[in-house]
Chain A
Amino acid sequence: TGDNRAKRYALQGSRWKVKDLTYKISKYPGKLKRGDVDKEIQRAFNVWSGYTDLTFTPKSGQVHIEIRFETGEHGDGDPFDGPGGTLAHAYFPVFGGDAHFDASESWSINSYRGTNLFQVAAHEFGHSLGLSHSDVRQALMAPFYRGYDPLFSLDTDDVEGIQALYGKKTKKDTPSFDDDNDDQDGEFDESPSNEKKTPAPPSVDQSLCADPKFDTIFNSAEGYTYVFKGDKYWRLTEESIAPGYPKKISETWPGLEGNIDAAFTYKNGKTYFFKGSKYWRYKGRKMDGDYPKEISEGFTGIPDNLDAALVWSGNGKIYFYKGSKFWRFDPSQRPPVKSTYPKPISNWDGVPDNLNAAFQWTNGYTYFYKGNAYYRFNDRAFAVDVTNPPFPRSTAYWWFGC
């Protein structure tokens, strides 16, 4: 209430009692192929099924949500107004859930031209499911169309809204959303052994115990976890630091310098190392081409002198952290970094600024490191995990077996 009310999603007050919903497109827009419209509409529904147990199945006959492209007055007393202005509207569950799109708009797919069908449809289906408009500007459920976003993803405000109505996702279906590890519901934490390394045998190097701050941590494509510090590196095992380390970085990764700022292994199996204004790409231990190159050349929109980088378990996109800011990089999109970045690291609730390192461990969790401590991130809550013992925890004790 009042102006100082926190900005957030709004629930209209009704929702579906069932989660397996059906839909049909009764009237198509003129200029797009029906098959393309079908795909975009399903994709728009998938936005919501990615974070809940809702399912959306196209069928003929009696359905929950009917979709129509109409012009002007179309029988519901809510006439469309031609190109621009009102693009579409939808009815909340208690009013039937149907969605109507203004056929006089120039609907487009994966294009900066026209009006993006997928994004508008995903918004309208939010209404069909019971969400009202949000006053969080970057939320999908904000009332204004913000143009084609090749890096579209739901804002946490949208996720919180839909999960307030239909609960969190418990069933696995699409791996592209939350790597839904059942352990993520918190019991995983009650048994600290999952992360507690058994004390390292005396033959293991103890220097990381004395000063557990390091430059970067990453998983190799083979699934090994490495910690870099200065010109040395250690391999971590499930329980502790592997014996026989540290070794020289340059012995294992020929051509790679020490004092690396950040590193990650992408789904293409290649590992990227960043230092100052430069980056290297390796396939396993072999440099994968003529490196180093300029970060500005290969990662347009990403700054030099990074603090950390990771592939986030929540959406498989690449995140870079520097100072109090972060950038999201999606190599499959143009531009790979949206103009709304950088954003404040404080968006990652509980994660501190000026990080030392970050990575997604083989257990699917995302970890952030700063000084002698580390934080484990809960992707669904989009916040540092609330556990007992709480985070931040001692890196030396939990990761290096000290």
Chain B
Amino acid sequence: RCANSAPSDSSALIYLSQYGYISASRGNSSQLLDERSYKKAIEDFQSFAGIDVTGQLDPVTLETMTLPRCGVKDKVG
């Protein structure tokens, strides 16, 4: 099942991809992402950012995604 695409989901997808939590798509194709990988990516980000690990795009997580930060990926392959 692809992740549901509420507006926050799509910007969160971009964020998670930009900072290395989801392998970046080529940009010229959209990728099918199973829910489990998506949830895992959110959990990884929450753990890295030191916030509650819920696997959900809760308000704290969305807020943290708006904080000023460094542009380098958190997860470097």
* Of A7, A12, A90, A124, the contact of B76 (CB 8 Å cutoff): A12
Tell me if A145 counts as interface (CB < 8 A to partner B): yes
Tell me if A219 counts as interface (CB < 8 A to partner B): no
- The chain A residue sitting closest to B47, CB to CB, is A3
Task: Establish whether residues A84 and B72, one from each chain, have CB atoms under 8 Å apart when the complex forms.
Answer: no
A residues near B (Cβ < 8 Å) are: 3, 7, 10, 12-13, 78, 80, 84-90, 92, 115, 120, 123-124, 127, 132-133, 135, 137, 143-145
Q: State A156–B52 Cα separation when bound (angstroms).
A: 24
Tell me if B32 counts as interface (CB < 8 A to partner A): no
Q: State A124–B48 Cα separation when bound (angstroms).
A: 18
Chain B 27-38, CB-CB to A under 8 Å as 1, else 0, gives: 000000000000
Residue of A87, A123, A144 most packed against chain B (CB within 10 A): A144
B residues near A (Cβ < 8 Å) are: 19, 43, 47-50, 53, 64, 66-74, 76
* CB neighbours of B66 from chain A (8 A): 84-85
Between A and B, 17 residue pairs with Cβ closer than 8 Å are: A10-B76, A13-B76, A84-B66, A85-B66, A86-B68, A87-B69, A88-B70, A89-B70, A123-B70, A133-B73, A135-B48, A135-B50, A143-B48, A143-B69, A144-B69, A145-B67, A145-B68
* Of B49, B53, B74, the contact of A3 (CB 8 Å cutoff): B53
Q: Given A85-B66, A124-B72, A132-B76, list of 17 further CB < 8 A pairs? A: A3-B53, A13-B76, A80-B71, A84-B68, A87-B68, A87-B69, A88-B70, A89-B71, A92-B76, A127-B70, A132-B72, A132-B74, A133-B48, A135-B49, A143-B72, A145-B67, A145-B70
Binding site of B, secondary structure by majority: helix, strand, loop or mixed?
loop
Chain B nearest CB, measured from A312 CB (Å): 26
* Of B43, B47, B49, the contact of A144 (CB 8 Å cutoff): B49
* Of B48, B50, B69, B74, the contact of A145 (CB 8 Å cutoff): B69
* CB neighbours of A120 from chain B (8 A): 70
Q: State A145–B67 Cα separation when bound (angstroms).
A: 8
Task: Establish whether residues B70 and A86, one from each chain, have CB atoms under 8 Å apart when the complex forms.
Answer: yes
Q: Taking A86-B69, A87-B68, A133-B48 as contacts, is the C-beta distance between A143 and B74 under 8 angstroms?
A: yes
- The chain B residue sitting closest to A100, CB to CB, is B71
Chain B nearest CB, measured from A132 CB (Å): 5
* CB neighbours of B19 from chain A (8 A): 143
Q: State A165–B62 Cα separation when bound (angstroms).
A: 34
